[in-house]
Every structure is written in structure tokens, then in C-alpha cells.
Chains A and B, each alone.
Chain A
Amino acid sequence: MTPEPHELDSFRQDVAAWLAAHRPADPGFLLPQSFMEVSTEQQLDFLREWQHKVWSAGYLGMAWPRAYGGGGVDPAFQSIADQEMRRAGVPICFNVIGLGWAGPLINDIGTEEEKSTYLKGILSGEDIWCQGFSEPDHGSDLGAAQTRAVRNGDGYVINGSKIWTTMGNYAKYMILLARTNPDAPRKYDGLSFFLAPMQVPGIETRPIRKLTGEYGFTETFFTDARIPEVSRMGAEGDGWKIAMQTLQYERGAEAGAAGGLAFVRVSIDDMIHELRDVSRDGCPVLEDPLLRDQLVALIMEEKAMALGDRRAAIAPLTTDYPFSLPLSNKLRWTEYSRRLRQFAVGAQGAAGSLYVGDEAARQGGFWQRAYMNSFAATIGGGTSQIQANIIAEHVLGLPK
């Protein structure tokens, strides 16, 4: 049943009040801007505690079934909770691979046992999840994954390596794409999908230092690592199909995420506010006609995307290319975010050359760090260039 507007309004007030009362104090150390840069145990403990608090208060996983730790209510409530968290500028709910990708997948296609084993721990933050899709030699080309899973008794023996494993060093489980049949006629048919335990012998992780100087990803090595048969999701050979479904959640084309913030708010309003006292050529930079024109173009770009989200739900207005808006969501948003941040750095004048650690850096170097981190989204989950290929082929119908 669709909730009544007054119910949603009063819920919104409840969330806002709760957030105001419970928002954590500044911890005194640098917090990650997203789930992809949890670099220290200190940050991890802080974020885990916060996610647990949000979930305990009933503001996370609101639309997931009650039986598995969810709230069992209409998704509209979670959207409101997310909006209020964004507005309040509270920390992120860091367990994003679980909350946003593995969780919805398990909810949608998992067995009863999988649901009861995994979902609650995702929400509470107790069980951290990571993703093992990309490999050192196969970034965007997932279908070519070479990590092997060999059936052995009641388990599989895994050999190979994965890269760009977000929180690989902290994770309890990994959604793993591995090759069970190297002889399948189509490379895609030889892949299987696992909800693999990470804390078993033979799995090692090595943190990767990112361009910002922070950590957050690992390289993950499997050397005769044994995982139970029951950790396989679906049948052998279903891996590609399940991985593609997972990417639909990741790219925002499919609903079902538990909610919570995956990123610290970076808004164009905040940027404009920050630029109000920046000078250029002796005048406020916001009076520079060239910069104003570029800024209006950015505002329009974001507004067009917000409007597109609305239009996508109106069938008569999506007749040309019905999948255009959902399939291009990731490309449009991530490229826009990158350019917004790049613009914010460039518009600061000399201050744009300062970095985290310099006390004269605007907002502690927030925009510089945000700009560099934004590439995680334009590269991860299929680079923008691959996204453009997908849209060209699957939306416009252009040949491979």
C-alpha cells in the first residue's frame, strides 16, 4: 500500500529530529568521503558504529523484509530517510557492497538460507562485504575473468587474483566471479558466482594506495583457498548472468538497495556557496561571465538528470529509447560529478593548488580530494568509455 503523504511528512520530521539528536561529533580525524576510501581501523570502527546506530533506529534496510533485519515498509520511507541523511550531512553507511549490491541480489534471487545467513549482518554492519569481479588483466572486461574455482569434494578450490577490492582487508564475505569451466564454448558460460567467505586460509589481501594518498581498495590473492560448495549462488555457469544483475544495482538501473549514504554530500549548492568569497581579477569570481556561463551549464546538467529520473517513470515520454535513461544513469552522474569537482578546484584560484594538510586549503582540501576520488566512479563498475559502448549497443542498437 502506498503511504499517505501525511505519513511520509511526519516520518520525515522524525528522521530529521533523530539525526539532529544523534549525529556523531567530529571525530578529530579525516573521515572517508565514500565507502571506497576506508583507510584505517579507526575510520572503520567509527563508521561501523554509525551504521549500526542508523540501522538500530530503523532507518536502514527499511524496505527489506522484517524477517531478515529489515523494516518491511514501503521504499518511499527509505528514500526520505536517505534524503534527510544527505541534508543533515551525516557520515556514510559504509557497507555499500552489501547494502547496495550483494544485499539486493540476495533479496531478489537468493535462497531462504542465503537470506537468513547474510542479510541481517549486512544491515547491522557486522559483516562487511566486498566484491571480487575485476582482475588485474581484466578491468572492464569481466567476461574474461580467469580466477579459477575447481570443484573438490564438498567445496571449491580458488586460485587467482582480484583487484580493486573495496575493503577487501576488512571483509567477511566477497561476491566472487570465478571460472568453473575453462572449456565452455562461450567464455561467459564458464563463470560461476559465489558468496565466498574471506576469512579462510589461502586468501591474502594487499592494500592499494590511491592517487589521493589514501587507501580503501586491496588486491586479493587466492592460493588454493577452499570455500564450501554451499557458497555458490545459482548453478554452475550462471555466474555471468548473476554478475550482470549485480551490476544493475550498482549502476542504479535496478532498485532494491538498503539505503544510507554511500558518499559524503558533494553538491553544486555547496560549491557555489564556497565560491562566494573567491576573488578573480579583483572581483568576486561569481561575477566572471565566463565562469557564470559554465556554472549555469553545470546546473542545467544536474537538473536535466533530476528531471530525467522523473521522466523515466512516464511511459509515453520514454518511447524513443525506453532504456536510455536507466542505462545511462551511471555514465551521466559519474561524469558530471567528476567535472563538477574539477570545476570547483579550478574556480578557487591559487587556493586550488593547495591540498589536504594545508591549513589555508579551502574546506581542508575537500574539493581537491573529491576530484581525485571521483575517478573511482568513472572507472569502477565499468569505465565511462565502456558505459558509452553499452549504451550505443544496447540502447541505440549500434553494432559491436
Chain B
Amino acid sequence: MSVIGSTRLSLGEEQAMLLDVARDFCRRQSPMSAVRAQLDSPLGFDQAVWRQMVDLGWTGIALPEAVGGSALGVASVVPVAESLGRAMLGTPLLATTLAAQLLQRAAPGTQDDVLAEIAAGAVATVALLESEDWGGTRYRVSLDDDNRLRGEKILVWDAQAAELLVVVARDGAGGTVLALVRRAALADAALAPHSLIDETRRAARIDFTDVQAEAVITGPSVSSALRDYQLLGALLVAAEAGGSAASCLDTTVDYLKTRKQFGRLIGSYQALKHPAVELLTAVDATRSFVYHAANLVSDEPLSRDAEIACRMAKAQGTETLCHAGDRAIQFHGGMGFTYECDAQLYLRRAQWAQPQFGDARHHRRHLAALLLD
């Protein structure tokens, strides 16, 4: 067996169609002026645009037909996530899709009402993180015998817009459980929005103390669902980051083609050309990993090959975006140092995307164990 492993990569007809539609939709709905218009809005997205995305069926892409989804599998969300990233369109689609994945995988067939709400456009999110450590698995937020929660979660994606929250908690016996909470069950004061480096994003700190869970999911499926949720999260963030890195590169290349210094277009200097080619190679690698991983994930528990693919996609994707954003600032020169220049949007997005679901070092460490031991 070679360490290179599976090299499966194909694109299904539905995926190709979704890619086409999503790319076009995002380009039309999210020019940079629209992205900037949302930077200081409370929810971070335009609800009319979100409504259209729901009407296009995007919240149900990976949900079963019985709940109003189109049962195309989470792989088909990948081209949409990439397109969102390309247009820097901040919406709760990733948070919602991932929350639905977690519910569906942890309790198949038992949360159909909730999944139907999600397919119909209810924003959902997962409250997982309690510290800076994406690799941690010991949760202090607890659930008592009366299904009341205690403790605080941080960096809950799109909490400000969410109607449904899936809280990862520890029960009295020390087992990991999922508690489903409605936004209505939370006092307004319980939710404190974070100030995020990426202004196209929204996330909040939430105190769940004394909040009553509407439903609780327990059992051995929870931990395997959580593992898959984190790998799929890594994949979707990577897909989105890959899209952002591609448009970041385009932005930089456009500038190199038009900016003149010392009587020459600066893009003619090899000191700028060669790193631009390195970025192109990294953007290409990201796209290959992302669609490869999309070939290997399914509604079943993720295989070893799928795990490797998701981790590689994330390790490559966010490192590429970090590098692309960093060089975008530098190559735009003085202009790049301004708020007005779009390069900052990508650099900020990169710092957001890097740690989500584990940074590149985290994934490479896991990959080393998977590949070398």
C-alpha cells in the first residue's frame, strides 16, 4: 500500500450543475460592494439572499427526501461552499448544513421534524468549543438529569441568526451527549456576540446555564457522529477557503497586471511572478484535495480514506488561503495596507478559517499517525 493512497476524483452530474448554479448565484448576489455592506450588520448576511438560497434547496442538499431535502449527500454541498468562499458571501449555510449532519449522524431517523425545519430554512448551529483547543474532547458544559444545561460555549457560528442550537455536553455519567436547544429558550443576555477578525462572519459566546434542552441525543453514535462532524466541518471550511484563495489570487493578479512602478507593470517582475505561480499551485492543490474528499464522504460513517482526504483538504486549504491573503496585502503595496483594499478581507478570512475544525498542524499531526505508524 502506497502512502499516496486513494486518488479518486470525479464530479457527478448534480455536483457539476450545483457548481454552475452556485458560482453564478454567488457572483450575482455578492459583488464586493454587497460583501462590504454586511460587514457591520448584526447578522452578517442579507436575509433576502438567504431566502433565495433556501428556495434553491441548498439547506436540504444533504438531507433525506422524507424531510424535504434532495438527498444528494454532503459531497454536493462542496461546490456550493467553494462558490460562497469565492464570492466571500457570508451566510449560515455551512453552520446549518453541519448542524444537520451532526443530528442526522448521531440520531438517524429520530430528528426528522427538526431536519424538516432546517430544510425549510431554519438556521441551525453547533455549540462545541469551550476553549481555543479544537482538538479537545473533554466538555465541561454539563447536562443534568432534568435535561438542564450548565456552562458556557464560545465561538458558536451564526448564533445570532440561529433558531436551533445543538449543544455538545457531558451528562451525569461523564458521557458525551447532544442537547437540542431552541433560540427561544435562551435569554437575550445569555448570548454575547464575539468581535471577530473576519467581519463577514458572526459568532457568539453563549451561557447555557439553566437552559432546558428540548431533546437529548445519547449513545455510542454520538462520539462517532461528532468525529465525522468535525471532519466534514474541516472539508467544508477547506472548500470555502479554496474558493476564497482562488478569488484572492485573481485580485492580486489583476493588480499585478495594472499597477505600474518605475515605468513597468509590476507583474513583469519575477520577484512577484514566481510567488504568484506558487500560489496558483497551492490553489490547484486545494481544489484537487477538496473534490477528492468530496468523492470519499457519504452518509455512512467516514472511512479512513475519507478521513485522510478531509484532513489533507483542510491542511492544504487554510494554509493556502493564509498564504494568499498574506501575499495579497504585500503585493498590493501601500494600497494593501488600507481598509479600502479588498486584500484585507481575504487575510481576515484566512485567520478565521485557519483554526476552524483544526489548523494545518493539527491535521498534519493526525495524518502522520494515519500514514506513518
Contacts and interface: CB of A to CB of B under 8 A. Distances in A.
A395 B273 CA distance: 11
A300 interface: yes
A311 B291 contact: yes
B277 A328 contact: yes
Which label, helix, strand, loop or mixed, suits the secondary structure of the B interface?
A: helix
A300 to B, nearest CB: 5
A304 B2 contact: no
Interface residues on A, range: 35 or more
B276 A398 contact: yes
Given A286-B372, A300-B312, A316 B16 contact: yes
A354 interface: no
A392 B276 contact: yes
B160 to A, nearest CB: 33
Given A292-B372, A300-B312, A314-B11, A397 B257 contact: yes
A296 B361 CA distance: 10
Interface residues of B, number: 47
Contact of A307 (B9, B20, B281, B283): B9
Contacts of B9: 307, 310-311, 314
B196 interface: no
Interface string B15-29: 010011000000000
- Interface core residue of A302, A304, A325 (most chain B CB under 10 Å): A304
A298 B274 CA distance: 20
Contacts of B52: none
Contacts of A268: 3-4
Contacts of B7: 303, 306-307, 310
A269 B368 contact: no
Interface string A375-388: 00000000001001
Nearest to A314: B11
B280 A307 contact: no
B5 A293 contact: no
Interface stretch (B107-115, B127-135, B262-270): B262-270
B281 A297 contact: no
Contact of A311 (B288, B315, B361): B288
A399 B365 contact: no
Interface string B67-78: 000000000000
Given A296-B368, A332-B281, A400-B268, A392 B289 contact: no
Interface of A: 267-269, 272, 286, 289, 292-293, 295-297, 299-304, 306-308, 310-311, 314, 316-317, 320-321, 324-325, 328, 331-332, 385, 388-389, 391-393, 395-400
5 contacts: A299-B4, A311-B288, A328-B284, A392-B273, A396-B280
